[in-house]
Every structure is written in C-alpha cells, then in structure tokens.
A = this chain, B = another copy of it.
Amino acid sequence: MLEKLFNPKTLAVVGASNKPGKIGFSIMQNLLHYNVHRKLFPVNIDCPQILGLKAYPKVSDLPLKELDLVIIAIPKPFVIDVLKDCAKKKTKFAVIISAGFKEAGDLHSEQELVQIARKTKIRIVGPNTLGIFDNFNKLDCLFLSITAQKRPKLGNVSLISQSGTVGAILIEQFEKNKVGLNKFVSYGNACDVNECDLLEYLNKDKHTKIIAFYVEEIIDGKRFIKILRKQKKPIVALKAGRSKKGSQSVQSHTGNLAGDSSVYSGIFKQFNILNAENVTDLVNFSKSQNIKSIKNTTIITNGGGYGILLSDHFEQYNIPILELAEKTKSALKKVMPFGVGTKNPIDIMGDADSNRYIQAIELTKKETDTYIIVLLGQTTTITKEGVIELANYLKRLNKNIVFISTEDRYTEILENDFLVFEFPEELARAISVRVKR
C-alpha cells in the first residue's frame, strides 16, 4: 500500500531551488544523483527552470493527470494551499518536510493537514520530517545533501525514525559502521502515516529483513500491539523519553500509549523486540542480526590483554566460550610457537602473521561455530596482503566471523564481508543478542 511512496513513477518537488544551501536544492540534487527512470517535476513559483529541468509554478500546472508523490519543502504558511492544489492532480503521497506544526505548538494547522488528507485521500508523511530514502529503489528526497553526507550501502535493514536529527545521525552511523540499509523514513509528527503503517508495510516488504526503529511515543497503542502480534521480522528499537525528564520532553497527546518505561520494556520483551539502550546499540544490534545464531565461540587474539578483556565481557553478556578438546590443545601446542596460549581465548601472540591465524582456525574449526578474531594492527607482522589472504580464507569458511580490528586500513578491508568492531565490550554486547539461549 505504500509502494508508490517508495517507488513513484511521477514525482514533484515543491520549493525546488537553484540555490545551493536551500532545502529545495539539496532535495533536487539528491533525487537527480541517481539515474532512475521516473518523471521528476520541480515546482517553483518564480523560476521556470531548476537544475536543467523545466519547472512549473504550481502542482496543478503539471502536464499529467495523476501524481504519485509530492515533496513539500516550503515555508509553513504556504503548505496547506499547496496540499489542496496537489489534490487536483490526484496526488497519492505527500512528504511534508516543512516544520512549525504540532512540534512547535501549532496543533490547529496540523489538524487542518489531517482533514485535507482524509478528504483528498492524499497520504501524508510528516510534517516536520527529514524525508525518505529508498536505497533499493534509489529514491532520495532527504533534506541532507548527498554531497555532504554519504549514504549507507544497500542492505536488508530498514530504519524508521520519529526524529529527523536522530534519523540523520543514524544514517551517518549506518554508513560509518557498514550496516546495509534498505529503506529509511523519518516520519516526523506522523499526522497521517505513522509507525504502525510503516511497520506493517515493512513486515511485508521482501527487501527488508530487519527493522530498526527510533521512537519517542507510539501514536496508536492498540494498533501497535496488534501489529506486533503478527510481526515476523526482527525489530531493534530505541525508545527515547524513558526517564521522567525525558518523557516531559516528548510532547504527549491523547490516544498515545503511556510513556512509562516499564510499559514499553514489557511490550518489547513480550514481542521479542530488541531493546536498544542507546544509539550505538541500535546500530550494533541491527548490524549483528546478519550473522547466524551463535552456539559457541572461539577467540583468536594477537594481543593477550584483549583476550582477557573479551573473556570478561563475554561472561558479562553470557556469551559461551568453547572449551577446546584436549587433543585440539595438543595439536595447537605442536604447531604453534613456544608461548602461544592454547586455551580459549587462543593467544597467538603479537608477532602472529595471517598464517598463524589460519593455522589456529584450521585446527579448531571442527568444534567451533563462531570465531572472534582479534587483529590488533599495531603489531608489525600484520600486513595488508596478509589481511587480504586471511579475509579470502575466511570467506570460504562457513562460520560466523566477528572481528576486532584497530587499524582503519585493515578495518576497511574486512568490513565489507564481516562484522567488525573496535572495542571488546562493544563487540560482546552487539553479538550477545545472537546467542542461542
């Protein structure tokens, strides 16, 4: 039901601009960045041409009878008239970037938007939204210039965020942490399309496997629970406003589910929603959903200290460390240089090259389900060629592979194919949600 929102054939930008820095310029630039076959119409009352495209004064002037999507990025006082004008072209969806409605205390104008939506059947995303980004259909109408902020690689996580700024930061974090993104919706004030509509849609969307969710308040509690009952895909959620002060900051209004933290954590628990406690959790839990469930782990480290820290954090998060068979330990002792620790964590020492990693894996792979490979790049024996060789070897191995990598140049090589973290606790916490209990 939201297909045309994410993949419109016809699309207009009201407030499109030729001036860099303007919202309507960024959005046009982002949309034009991808070479996708769809009809894009800039709308600007003063300017006949925008970024090389013919522009129209009003949506109702467009040379077509129906419009799939309109992006509205103009000052608030003009939004309602524009929306009414859109109805003349049987517009299906409107993404209203413009702010200054409910979130600024103007409930009346927001109510007017809702009434128009009901009457004209235009479905509204927003107002007060950063926009939407579909990485699969290559639709990018974010109010975040693509030249200033890179987008995440394509993947199977779809992200919905009530807050625009938190959404922008999550987009950035997904990109930095190589979390593959499918769709992103900043749903803002949710005057019409809300988190329930989006969850329902994403649950059916075949390109979405994991749903990440930043939420301050649930608009329709009853429907939310109904949807969760039918939910089949993993959801990772960060609920903000759990504290007294925090929930005061969330503007609550009639019909919303109580902001009480225990209510939310109860619901999350009941429906197996992963409860992210902070922004980093939301990113890392999403990221780790892409590995198979973990039965046991073997840690191979070139730094003794990181082996100890990992053991500590694995115990803290109840992640099982495999007890290696006696004959495996003997085999390791035979092959490895003097001083290598043959208990798990296997400390292959600071002078280990990629070959020693591979040897240790070869000898333990019959027993092990998940490898935690610590690659402290500060040592001098690890080379780029060695890291590539190790990565190629591991790609052929049918195991969960999770890296700690401390050198950017090696992280860059590894993170395209494997989960990579920088710190022991971060790794432990992230993968703990994949342990088979």
Residues of chain A at the chain B interface (Cβ within 8 Å): 21, 23, 26, 99-100, 103-105, 144, 149, 161-166, 168-169, 172, 214, 216, 240-246, 248-250, 277-280, 302-309, 311-316, 321, 338-339, 341, 343, 345, 347, 350, 376, 378-380, 406, 423-426
Say whether A163 contacts B249, CB under 8 Å: no
Question: A-B pairs with the 4 shortest C-beta distances?
Answer: A104-B339, A163-B305, A165-B303, A243-B315
Tally of this chain's copies: 2
- Chain B residues with CB under 8 Å of A343's CB are 248-249
Nearest chain B residue, comparing its CB with the CB of A374: B165
Give the complex CA separation of A163 and B278 in angstroms.
30
Q: A377 to nearest B CB, angstroms?
A: 9
Say whether A104 contacts B308, CB under 8 Å: no
Say whether B172 contacts A249, CB under 8 Å: no
Give the complex CA separation of A66 and B306 in angstroms.
39
Given A245-B315, A343-B248, are A304 and B380 also a contact pair (CB < 8 Å)?
A: no
Give the complex CA separation of A249 and B172 in angstroms.
38
Contact partner, A350, options B164, B305, B315, B338, Cβ 8 Å: B164
Nearest chain B residue, comparing its CB with the CB of A323: B245
Say whether B424 contacts A305, CB under 8 Å: no
- Chain B residues with CB under 8 Å of A100's CB are 338-339
Given A166-B309, A249-B345, A423-B278, are A243 and B316 also a contact pair (CB < 8 Å)?
A: yes
Say whether A338 contacts B104, CB under 8 Å: yes
Say whether A314 contacts B423, CB under 8 Å: no
Give the complex CA separation of A277 and B426 in angstroms.
12
Give the complex CA separation of A27 and B425 in angstroms.
32
- Chain B residues with CB under 8 Å of A338's CB are 100, 104-105
Q: A281 to nearest B CB, angstroms?
A: 9
Say whether B105 contacts A305, CB under 8 Å: no
Give the complex CA separation of A250 and B240 in angstroms.
40
Question: Known contacts A21-B380, A165-B305; can you find 9 more A-B pairs with CB under 8 A?
Answer: A161-B305, A162-B305, A164-B305, A166-B303, A216-B305, A242-B312, A248-B343, A249-B304, A280-B426
Given A100-B339, A278-B423, are A305 and B378 also a contact pair (CB < 8 Å)?
A: no
- Chain B residues with CB under 8 Å of A426's CB are 280
Given A343-B248, A424-B279, are A305 and B166 also a contact pair (CB < 8 Å)?
A: yes
Q: A246 to nearest B CB, angstroms?
A: 4
Give the complex CA separation of A405 and B188 in angstroms.
22
Say whether A144 contacts B378, CB under 8 Å: yes
Give the complex CA separation of A379 and B142 in angstroms.
12
Say whether B165 contacts A241, CB under 8 Å: no
Given A164-B350, A243-B316, A279-B424, are A249 and B308 also a contact pair (CB < 8 Å)?
A: yes
- Chain B residues with CB under 8 Å of A23's CB are 380
Give the complex CA separation of A350 and B98 in angstroms.
12
- Chain B residues with CB under 8 Å of A246's CB are 308-309, 311-312, 315
- Chain B residues with CB under 8 Å of A406's CB are 169, 172
- Chain B residues with CB under 8 Å of A302's CB are 165
Say whether B243 contacts A314, CB under 8 Å: yes
Say whether B149 contacts A306, CB under 8 Å: no
- Chain B residues with CB under 8 Å of A308's CB are 216, 240-241, 246, 249-250
- Chain B residues with CB under 8 Å of A172's CB are 378, 406
